[in-house]
């Protein structure tokens, strides 16, 4: 189970207290973290005092290690940022496996929404256990194996849902458009993330390639390139890129894909807490075909990087509804005991300098679609998908 909403650069770091030197091989850089000191009352003294009182007087059994893990989690949650999270070793292993493109779970992506204590399924992988069990985008996970997950960090929920292959997990779902709460038993399985789907559509003005991206994982750029090659060999004359219900993923992945679509220039840039700016650019080579993007309210993060670049450069037409509005970047910072913190460290900006956090990107052409149909994108017949119909009509005009 797997949240692609994290918009990560894969940055590693070490202890928050001791001086560290972290080599980040994937980015080819070395980060030096200066020694940091706790300012204020010694927290260890208070924790020891509380532990001694509990040990002496509590009639309720407790697990000290579990309490410490909950304390770390709560301490990080105190930042008040839904994207800043403490990952224990189990959640960290699950997260890393998912970003590589394979994992053992039920086959969904999940996301968090402001002021909502429950995580929401943003998409299900075709043919994966959750899909076969009938779960839909927009379903909220209320409990896992009878344990209420209200207020839990998204990676905690992931850790609860994942487990050994072939074992059963019971997911309690709330489906708002049916006002129904129900339990689903799902058998965990190894899932290879199918993030790219493609097909050819034929209009009166030529052949239109259609590619749907369901996330931006480590495997996505390669899958995208394979889809492009096949569609090009079949005579593609225009391209529709479907980012609806795509919650985002890796910055490296979306940059690689966007580079194939845009001429030379800035794709996006990031700004950290000290005002340092880092530009991400495309080169001069690109697929010079008419381009249309499809987006909706669940197109977030990395999806909005691509959409913002297309909008600002005038490279294509965006169709659908307002995007989610996540304009911040998380890095993964490793601690010395094998756990980690996923920390919001930067804002990202479109080529024209806009940070879309909290606002999203407005399409050039707004086409509303019912919530029921929006949740079933990728499983709709063409006659049901009015947004795709609009995209085909507009790209056909571009090809005329």
**Spatial contact of 351 and 104, defined as CB atoms under 8 Å apart:** no
Nearest to 300 by CA among 282, 316, 322: 322
Confidence grade of residue 62 (pLDDT, cut at 50, 70, 90): very high
pLDDT > 90: percent of the chain: 70
Choices 3.40.50.300, 3.40.190.150, 2.60.40.10, 2.30.42.10: CATH for 20-38+62-191: 2.30.42.10
Q: Write down the CATH number for the domain with range 196-328+344-399.
A: 3.90.226.10
Mean pLDDT for the chain overall? 87
Judged by average pLDDT, the poorest of 32-46, 202-216, 231-245 is 32-46
Per-position DSSP letters for 193-236, written without gaps between them? ---EEEEEEEETTEEEEEEEE--B-TTHHHHHHHHHHHHHHTT-
SS3 of residue 24 by DSSP: strand
Same fold, 20-38+62-191 and 196-328+344-399: no
Q: How high is the pLDDT of residue 94?
A: 75
Overall average pLDDT of the 247-267 stretch:
96
Confidence grade of residue 18 (pLDDT, cut at 50, 70, 90): very low
Higher pLDDT: 393 or 125? It is: 393
Pairing of β 291-295 and β 238-242? parallel
pLDDT value at 352 more than 80: yes
Nearest to 377 by CA among 364, 391, 363: 391
- 348, containing H or E segment: strand 340-349
Q: What digits encode the pLDDT tens for the residues 68-84?
A: 999 999 999 999 999 99
131, 242, 259, 312: the catalytic one is 312
Catalytic: 372?
A: no
Catalytic: 398?
A: no
How far apart CA 220 and CA 256 sit, in angstroms, is 10
Show Cβ contacts of residue 280 under 8 Å, excluding neighbours closer than 6 positions: 251, 255, 266, 267, 268, 269, 270
Overall average pLDDT of the 198-207 stretch:
96
123, 301, 374, 396: the catalytic one is 301
Overall average pLDDT of the 266-273 stretch:
97
Q: Label residue 398 exposed, middle or buried (CB < 10 Å: 0-12, 13-18, 19+).
A: middle
Q: How high is the pLDDT of residue 38?
A: 56
Q: How high is the pLDDT of residue 39?
A: 63
Catalytic: 370?
A: no
Give phi and psi for 148, each to the nearest 5. Answer: -60, 135
Q: How high is the pLDDT of residue 79?
A: 94
Structure tokens at 105: 């779970």
**Spatial contact of 298 and 137, defined as CB atoms under 8 Å apart:** yes
**Domain spans of the chain, in order of start:** 20-38+62-191, 196-328+344-399
How far apart CA 180 and CA 306 sit, in angstroms, is 36
5, 9, 140, 326: the catalytic one is 326
């Amino acid at each position: 189970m797997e949240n692609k909403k994290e918009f990560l650069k894969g940055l590693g770091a070490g202890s928050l207290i001791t001086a560290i030197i972290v080599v980040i091989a994937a980015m080819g850089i070395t980060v030096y973290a200066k020694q940091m000191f706790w300012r204020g009352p010694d927290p260890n003294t208070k924790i020891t005092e509380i532990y001694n009182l509990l040990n002496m007087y509590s009639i309720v059994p407790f697990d000290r290690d579990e309490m410490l893990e909950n304390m770390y989690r709560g301490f990080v949650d105190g930042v008040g940022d839904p994207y800043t999270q403490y990952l224990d070793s189990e959640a960290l292993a699950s997260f890393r496996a998912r970003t590589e493109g394979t994992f053992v779970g039920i086959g969904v992506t999940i996301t968090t929404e402001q002021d909502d204590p429950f995580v929401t399924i943003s998409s299900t992988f075709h043919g994966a256990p959750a899909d076969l069990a009938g779960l839909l985008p927009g379903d909220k996970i209320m409990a896992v194996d009878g344990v209420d997950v209200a207020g839990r960090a998204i990676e905690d929920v992931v850790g609860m849902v994942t487990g050994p292959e072939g074992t059963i997990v019971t997911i309690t779902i709330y489906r708002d458009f049916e006002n129904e709460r129900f339990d689903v038993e799902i058998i965990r399985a190894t899932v290879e993330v199918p993030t790219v789907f493609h097909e050819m559509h034929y209009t009166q003005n030529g052949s239109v390639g259609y590619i749907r991206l369901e996330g931006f994982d480590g495997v996505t750029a390669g899958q995208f390139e394979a889809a492009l090659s096949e569609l090009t060999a079949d005579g593609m004359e225009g391209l529709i890129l479907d980012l609806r219900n795509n919650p985002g993923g890796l910055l490296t992945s979306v940059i690689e894909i966007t580079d194939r679509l845009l001429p030379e220039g800035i794709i996006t840039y990031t700004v950290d807490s000290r005002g340092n700016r880092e530009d991400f650019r495309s080169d001069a080579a690109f697929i010079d075909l008419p381009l249309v993007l499809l987006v909706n309210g669940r197109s977030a993060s990395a999806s909005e990087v691509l959409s913002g670049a297309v909008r600002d450069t005038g490279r294509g037409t965006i169709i659908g509804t307002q995007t989610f509005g996540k304009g911040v970047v998380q890095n993964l910072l490793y601690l010395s005991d094998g756990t980690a913190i996923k920390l919001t460290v930067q804002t990202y900006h479109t080529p024209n300098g806009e940070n879309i956090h909290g606002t999203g990107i407005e399409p050039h052409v707004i086409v509303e679609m019912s919530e029921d149909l929006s949740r079933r994108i990728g499983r709709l017949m063409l006659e049901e998908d009015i947004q795709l119909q609009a995209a085909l009509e507009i790209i056909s005009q571009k090809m005329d």
